[in-house]
A and B are shown apart, each in its own frame.
Chain A
Amino acid sequence: AQRVTQPEKLLSVFKGAPVELKCNYSYSGSPELFWYVQYSRQRLQLLLRHISRESIKGFTADLNKGETSFHLKKPFAQEEDSAMYYCALESGAQKLVFGQGTRLTINP
């Protein structure tokens, strides 16, 4: 069965420190992966998708098929990065499966 696992429910780092939010998936096909973000009092929104291979707000994510991972990284955290982050997998027929989410807190 398709599954997305985010092992950390909570992650706290200091401003300026590197950030890595982990995401692992299980899927037998060719995966399409996404990171969604929900800032305080805002709607859930797309942050980035692996096929775009772009950096958004300083975040990047590389698909590692060997490790079945799609970790989200940023070299220098900013206070405005504090939010809830969800990793998601398109599992066929436009059905997206989400992970449990990681709440990231950036301390000043």
Chain B
Amino acid sequence: DGGITQSPKYLFRKEGQNVTLSCEQNLNHDAMYWYRQDPGQGLRLIYYSQIVNDFQKGDIAEGYSVSREKKESFPLTVTSAQKNPTAFYLCASSPQGTSSGANVLTFGAGSRLTVL
């Protein structure tokens, strides 16, 4: 069953702690993305990666970090520097380049992070 798996589904964190959200895909997609979804603000891009070992900042990268050591995996770390980390986080992937599916995102089910 191909798709994107995000874990954990729910996560609670104390202020000052870093937390890492997992995103794994078995779609053989080259590009992967992290978005933050807040009510009334839509989806805002945190980081994206078009290829292994390379990634770019999105519109709201401050306080977040990522790695892309494997094609299948794109974990997101929410650091203590992120001022308002409580949110719903969505991971997505897409084919690369000129394929017909390029730019069509497949989304995970999301991870809800709550900072206590």
Interface string of A71-108 (1 = CB under 8 A from B): 00000000000000010001001111111110000000
Q: How far is the CA of A34 from the CA of B103 in the complex (A)?
A: 9
- CB proximity to B under 8 Å, residues A7-39: 9, 32, 34, 36
Q: Are B107 and A96 in contact (CB under 8 A)?
A: no
Q: In the complex, what distance in Å separates the CA atom of A90 from the CA atom of B31?
A: 14
Given the interface pairs A43-B107, A44-B90, the reply to whether A98 lies near B102 with Cβ below 8 Å is no
Interface residues on B, range: 20 to 34
Query: Are the C-beta atoms of A94 and B48 separated by less than 8 Å?
Result: yes
Contacts of A55 in B (CB 8 A): none
- Decide if A94 touches B107 in the complex (CB within 8 Å): no
Of B9-17, B35-43, B79-87, which stretch is located at the interface? B35-43
B94 at the interface (CB under 8 A from A): yes
Cβ distance B88 to chain A, nearest Cβ, rounded Å:
11
CA–CA, A17 and B53, complex, Å: 50
A46 and B58 contact, Cβ closer than 8 Å, known pairs A97-B45, A101-B42: no
* Cα of A93 to Cα of B94 in the assembled complex, Å: 12
Report Cα–Cα, A45/B92, bound state, in Å: 10
| Chain A: number of interface residues, binned into ranges | 20 to 34
Would A95 and B58 count as touching, CB distance under 8 A? yes
A binding-site residues for B, Cβ under 8 Å: 6, 9, 32, 34, 36, 43-46, 49, 86, 90, 93-101
Q: Which residues does B use to contact A, with CB under 8 Å?
A: 31, 33, 35, 40-45, 48, 50, 56, 58-59, 90, 92, 94, 96, 102-110
- For the A-B complex with A34-B103, A95-B45, A96-B105 known, give 13 more contacts whose Cβ atoms are closer than 8 Å: A32-B103, A34-B104, A43-B110, A45-B107, A46-B104, A86-B43, A90-B103, A93-B50, A94-B103, A95-B56, A96-B33, A100-B42, A101-B42
